[in-house]
Structure 1
Amino acid sequence: MWLFAMFDLPVKTPADRRRYAQFRKLLLNDGFSMMQYSVYARYCASEESAAVHRQLVRDGLPDEGQVRLLAVTDRQFGKMENYIGKKRKPAEDPPRQLMLF
């Protein structure tokens, strides 16, 4: 399962830019990767894992701006079409999980 965080935050004042940077850093520190500007995604192994990361994002929401969270299955994620210019790029594979013995 993939958890997407899409956001549009104000950046007009230095305080706005600081809040934007703090929110972006929160996402990166929680394992999200930038897919596009203001669109970040994180692979979650289960619904329970996604719920934990949703709550972490909720706890770090800035006072202003708009944030959307969207969960999609691996199958749905695999149907995504990615283009760079006019060339199609394959979708990312889910990260491999480490096996600890």
Structure 2
Amino acid sequence: MELPLLNRYELMWMLVLFDLPVVEKYERKEATQFRNFLLDNGFGMIQYSIYTKLFSGKDACEKYYKMIKDNLPSEGKVDIITITDKQY
């Protein structure tokens, strides 16, 4: 049985970009915990504050969007961008 090929417009990339404060010890700890959360959930580091992951569709992206939202650090700025594989 042959598996169907996924359309490059259906595959979605999620980019998580963040700028977190790291002056105080607790801020460094939160920033490290957030980065480890992303790595533990299959995201790859592009730069120190940019992580990406490829998803099979919009529904999978929405699940991870909620997970990230639930694990945000108390301070700083986190942005999430989703684009199709074709756009990437």
- TM-score, length basis structure 2: 0.85
Partner of 1:84: none
> Identity over aligned residues, as a percent?
38
Partner of 1:11: 22
CA distance in 2, matches of 1:3, 1:53: 9
Name the aligned partner's letter for residue 43 of structure 1.
L
Q: What does 1:22-101 correspond to in 2, within 5 Å? A: 22-77=33-88
Moved beyond 4 Å, runs of 4+: none
How many residues get paired? 77
Q: How far off is 1:56 after superposition?
A: 0.6
Identify unmatched segments of 5+ residues in structure 2.
1-11
Q: How far off is 1:30 after superposition?
A: 0.9
1:35-63 CA distances to partner (integer Å, 9 max, x unpaired)?
11200001111100000111110000011
Q: Secondary structure at the match of 2:72?
A: coil
Name the aligned partner's letter for residue 45 of structure 1.
S
Q: Secondary structure at the match of 1:75?
A: coil
RMSD (Å), alpha carbons: 0.5
CA distance in 2, matches of 1:2, 1:33: 11
CA distance in 1, matches of 2:69, 2:19: 15
Q: Secondary structure at the match of 1:56?
A: helix
CA distance in 1, matches of 2:52, 2:70: 17
